[in-house]
């Protein structure tokens, strides 16, 4: 069993300060980064790197996203605006290590939520499941019951748990209407998608808001680099 020591907590405080300097303001997001032990999501060889603001390999050629990127996407999801008497339904495409999933669950700790996270690779899916279960042994964290981890091709979304209030994509999404179509159809009216959209090398962080069945509003933010989306609608 891994430990979360004062040293780890101190390193997280420094990381949060760094992320604040980079422009993240959402208090719930910052609290989640401060609370969730990122080193639980990485192989022990990388322990000393866990609180650097960097992406790292997690196997299968995939990476755990940079903490700033996790915070940036989480902030764009606007979860704090959600009415607390409803159940917030979130779909994450690309579980990877499960770190972003844990951050989302921690942000949603005080509201009713259902988080579905999809991973393409079976072994990453299994590993993330184990990591999140281990984390729950510490009672101060979120409730694992609200998380549904699924191993399938998320490029087509996940119809079973739809419609969603929020969809977050943590893999580079091809810039074609084809790739986004299915996700849009699984979104509620007023719902939002946050996805890095572009080519294999560079992507622009986009937020799409579904105004009505036919109207999607698009906002564009900064440039990012993610591993490519796999599967039917991927690269
Ligand atoms: N959110 C992750 C970062 C993941 S990197 C974290 O916090 O660790 C992107 C992940 O998306 C990889 O694990 C990759 O295997 C997964 N992925 C890529 N294409 C996918 C698809 N079509 N469906 C589901 N997962 C996919």
pLDDT (0 to 100) of residue 158: 98
What is the full DSSP assignment across 145-173? GGEEEEES-GGG--GGG--EEEEEE-SBE
Q: Note the pTM of the prediction, 2 decimals.
A: 0.96
Please list the ranges in the chain whose pLDDT falls under 70: 1, 138-139
pLDDT (0 to 100) of residue 145: 80
Q: Which pLDDT tens digit goes with each residue over 137-159?
A: 765 777 778 899 999 999 999 99
pLDDT (0 to 100) of residue 1: 60
pLDDT (0 to 100) of residue 139: 58
CB neighbour list of residue 162: distance below 8 Å, 6 or more residues apart: 89, 91, 186, 187
Candidate of 96, 126, 128, 234 to mutate for ligand 1, largest count of ligand atoms within 8 Å of Cβ: 96
pLDDT (0 to 100) of residue 49: 85
Q: Is 65 a catalytic residue?
A: yes
Task: Please report the atom of ligand 1 found closest to the CA of residue 103.
Answer: 7
pLDDT (0 to 100) of residue 138: 65
Length of the chain: 235
Phi and psi angles of residue 178, each rounded to the nearest 5 degrees, phi first = -55, -45
Cα 157 to averaged position of ligand 1 atoms, centre (Å) = 13
Distances in Å between the Cα of 114 and the Cα atoms of 134, 142, 181, 193, 209 are: 19, 12, 22, 16, 20
Burial of 27 (0-12, 13-18, 19+ CB in 10 A): exposed
pLDDT (0 to 100) of residue 179: 79
Is 3.40.190.170 the CATH classification of the domain at 6-224?
A: no
């Amino acid at each position: 069993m891994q430990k979360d020591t004062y040293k780890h907590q101190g390193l997280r405080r420094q990381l949060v300060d760094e992320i604040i300097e980079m422009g993240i303001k959402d208090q719930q997001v910052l609290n989640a980064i401060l609370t969730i032990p990122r080193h639980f999501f990485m192989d022990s060889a990388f322990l000393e790197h866990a609180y650097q603001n960097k992406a790292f390999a997690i196997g299968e050629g995939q990476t755990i996203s940079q903490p700033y990127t996790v915070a940036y996407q989480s902030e764009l999801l606007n979860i704090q605006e959600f009415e607390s008497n409803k159940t917030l339904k979130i779909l994450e495409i690309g579980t990877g290590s499960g770190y972003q999933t844990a951050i989302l669950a921690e942000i949603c700790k005080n509201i009713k939520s259902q988080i579905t996270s999809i991973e393409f690779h079976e072994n990453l899916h299994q590993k993330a499941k184990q990591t999140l279960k281990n984390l729950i042994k510490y009672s101060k964290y979120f409730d694992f019951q609200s998380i549904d981890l699924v191993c399938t091709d998320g490029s087509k979304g996940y119809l079973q748990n739809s419609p969603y209030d929020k969809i977050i994509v943590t893999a580079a999404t091809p810039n074609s209407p084809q790739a986004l179509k299915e996700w849009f159809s699984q979104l509620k009216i007023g719902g939002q998608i946050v996805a890095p959209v572009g080519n294999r090398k560079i992507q622009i962080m986009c937020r799409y808001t579904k105004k009505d069945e036919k109207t999607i509003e698009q906002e564009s933010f900064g440039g990012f680099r993610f591993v490519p989306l796999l599967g039917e609608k991927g690269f």
